[in-house]
């Protein structure tokens, strides 16, 4: 199938060069790729047997600040899905070895609750229902718009974050649903939605350093400037103390302790 059959671009989207069977962003937010000294952002498993499309998806997700891993068939996808932790998965439906929905059902039977976006050329309402009934959180038909794909991945990551009822901040606990931090003495501090999401993002990977670009993509996807990250770090520290978020000079921020 020609590469262009898989992806479509709306007017005004960043320019894209097609070469070497890869999606190569030339401008806009896709152009950011993590440097060699930056730790990875959200881990995304991509299960896609079409080699060209698989490389395109990896390049697109990497450019958006994520850390994708490509599995070329359902069997490898099942192995990786069961043996490693993921923030989100993008699974093609028409896979060799293990069909995409069978792969998804197998993951769900084994207790894997990572949110999944199914990609498929089969896009009728009945086929979408089949995908959702198999355990997918979302279903996107090919050809797809790259902006829509990224937006759906962001939604999956937010869903993954929301699935954790509480997260530890040293001796304190963040209640994600209530947006409250409870310290060791039982005192509660209420947070705004953005403050809570920022802290939860850091707390889900307490050893990871997040760049400002990482946090802009995952928490403030409707903002243009990375300065909004610094502003909300300040807000969190003002409410909870400077130790709640650590600055890693030259890199970004990581989870601290209370």
CATH 1.10.10.10 maps onto the chain at 166-255
Residue 254, pLDDT above cutoff 90: yes
CATH 3.40.50.2300 maps onto the chain at 3-162
Greater confidence, 130 or 218? 130
| pLDDT on residue 160 | 64
Distances (CA, A) of 3 to 7, 54, 138, 170, 179: 7, 11, 23, 48, 44
Residue 11, pLDDT above cutoff 60: no
- In the predicted model, what is the mean pLDDT of the chain? 81
Can you name the CATH fold of 166-255? Arc Repressor Mutant, subunit A (1.10.10)
| pLDDT on residue 55 | 95
Digit-coded pLDDT (tens) for 194-246: 999 999 889 887 878 999 998 998 898 888 899 999 999 999 999 999 999 99
Radius of gyration (C-alpha) of the chain in whole angstroms: 19
Which CATH number does 3-162 carry? 3.40.50.2300
Digit-coded pLDDT (tens) for 149-198: 999 998 888 776 655 567 888 888 888 888 999 988 888 999 999 999 99
DSSP state of 45: E
pTM strictly above 0.75: no
Give the start-end residues of each E strand in 79-216: 88-92, 116-120, 138-141, 144-145, 166-169, 172-175, 180-182, 188-190
Digit-coded pLDDT (tens) for 75-113: 999 999 888 778 899 999 999 989 999 999 999 888 787
């Amino acid at each position: 199938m020609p590469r262009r059959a898989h992806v479509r671009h709306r007017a005004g989207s960043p320019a894209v060069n097609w070469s070497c069977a890869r999606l190569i962003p030339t401008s806009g937010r896709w152009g950011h790729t993590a440097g060699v000294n930056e730790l990875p952002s959200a881990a995304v498993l991509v299960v896609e047997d079409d080699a060209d499309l698989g490389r395109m998806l990896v390049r697109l997700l990497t450019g958006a600040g994520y850390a994708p891993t490509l599995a070329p068939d359902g069997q490898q996808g099942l192995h990786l899905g069961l043996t490693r932790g993921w923030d989100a998965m993008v699974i093609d439906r028409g896979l060799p070895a293990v069909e995409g929905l069978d792969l998804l059902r197998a993951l769900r039977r084994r207790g894997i609750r990572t949110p999944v976006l199914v990609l498929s050329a089969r896009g009728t309402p009945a086929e979408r229902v089949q995908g959702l009934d198999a355990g997918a959180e979302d279903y996107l038909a090919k050809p797809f718009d790259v902006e829509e794909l990224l937006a759906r991945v962001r939604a999956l990551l937010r869903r993954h974050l929301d699935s954790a009822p509480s997260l530890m901040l040293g001796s304190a606990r963040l209640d994600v649903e209530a947006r409250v931090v409870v310290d060791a003495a039982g005192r509660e501090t209420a947070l705004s939605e953005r403050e809570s999401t920022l802290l939860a993002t850091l707390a889900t990977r307490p050893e990871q350093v997040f760049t400002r670009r990482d946090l802009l993509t995952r928490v403030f996807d409707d903002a243009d400037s990375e300065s909004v990250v610094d502003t909300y770090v300040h807000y969190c520290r003002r409410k909870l103390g400077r130790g709640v978020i650590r600055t890693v000079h030259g890199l970004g921020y990581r989870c601290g302790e209370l």
